[in-house]
């Protein structure tokens, strides 16, 4: 299969391990303060079975001169325009934390434009209908730093480097405000299967939050819980990529008429595929 002619130059898309002959492309959306590079290992592990499109939001790394987006829905609008040229084959969407929220809104827009994803995989975030603000007022910088420390996923040495902290804070604050200002608008459920992946000790996600994802699809729903906290996937990359690969293969199988086993909830430690 030949790739699209226009999108490889897009500032939004990074392909760390291009897989031009893969039957499915996986759009990977970073967490608050994160970048496309967070998914470089996922891309290399899944290639050549899956062509991973890691998304680079404005305002970070080589896009640092661009202002960060101020609205999550506007971010989704802009991103869908960048993704449609890649929809010459199946698209699936994976997002962690903030990325899960963006992924849901992107999936909605892809479906509305006739390019429904074959799967939505959401990590470290409850259903959008359960969204609630974390802060009653705009948090001070020390509060954001404390939040980062508590959730993990960042090398502790970063917090000892004032220059790095000063560089990261504007992006982190902008991303947190995307989350805080998000307002879920009810609409038709998705037609694609939804898989929720979470750490059993994640302080940001409750069981009820996860189960509520069922309400957002008319297709199958399943969930996988791993040992660990909000950034469980950093410590268990093999299991997480295995779960992703399994779900994408399952979607391909269901399109060929093979039986699907989706719909279950797996407990901690059962994420190895």
- Catalytic residues, by residue number, are 97, 230
Instruction: Report the C-alpha gap between 3 and 18 in whole angstroms.
Output: 10
Residue 1 CA: distances (Å) to CA of 19, 20, 24, 51, 88: 10, 6, 11, 12, 9
What SS3 class is residue 145?
Answer: helix
- Residues 6 or more apart whose Cβ sits within 8 Å of residue 54: 13, 14, 15, 16, 28, 30, 36, 37, 38, 39, 40, 42, 43
Q: Three-state SS for 77?
A: helix
* DSSP element (H, E) containing 50: strand 50-55
Distance, CA of 54 to chain centre: 10
For residues 57 and 70, the answer to whether their CB atoms sit within 8 Å is no
Query: CA 249, CA 242: separation in Å to the nearest integer?
Result: 10
Q: What is the Cα–Cα distance from 192 to 95, expressed in whole angstroms?
A: 15
Selection from 57, 73, 131 nearest residue 106 by Cα: 73
């Amino acid at each position: 299969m030949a790739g699209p002619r226009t999108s490889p130059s897009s500032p939004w898309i990074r392909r760390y391990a291009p897989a031009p002959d893969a039957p499915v492309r996986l759009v990977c959306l970073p967490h608050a303060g994160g970048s496309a590079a967070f998914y470089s290992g996922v891309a290399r592990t899944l290639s050549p079975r899956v062509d991973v499109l890691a998304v680079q939001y404005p305002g970070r790394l080589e896009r640092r001169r661009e202002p960060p987006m101020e609205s999550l829905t506007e971010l989704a609008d802009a991103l869908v325009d960048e993704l449609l040229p890649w929809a010459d084959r199946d698209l699936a969407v994976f997002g962690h934390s903030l990325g899960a929220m963006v992924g849901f809104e992107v999936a909605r827009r892809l479906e509305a434009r006739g390019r429904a994803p074959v799967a939505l995989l959401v990590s470290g975030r409850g259903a959008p209908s359960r969204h609630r603000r974390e802060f009653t007022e705009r948090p001070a910088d020390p509060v954001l730093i404390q939040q980062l420390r508590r959730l993990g996923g960042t090398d502790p040495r970063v917090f000892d480097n004032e220059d790095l902290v000063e560089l990261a804070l504007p992006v982190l604050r902008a991303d947190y405000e995307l989350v805080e200002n998000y307002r879920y608008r009810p609409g038709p459920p998705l037609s694609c299967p939804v898989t929720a992946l979470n750490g059993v000790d994640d302080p940001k996600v409750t069981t009820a939050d996860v189960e509520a994802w069922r309400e957002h699809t008319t297709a199958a729903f399943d969930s996988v819980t791993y040992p660990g906290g909000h950034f469980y996937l950093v410590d268990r990359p093999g299991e997480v990529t295995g779960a992703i690969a399994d779900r994408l293969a399952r979607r391909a199988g269901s399109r060929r008429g093979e039986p699907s086993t989706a719909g279950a909830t797996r407990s901690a430690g059962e994420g190895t595929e």
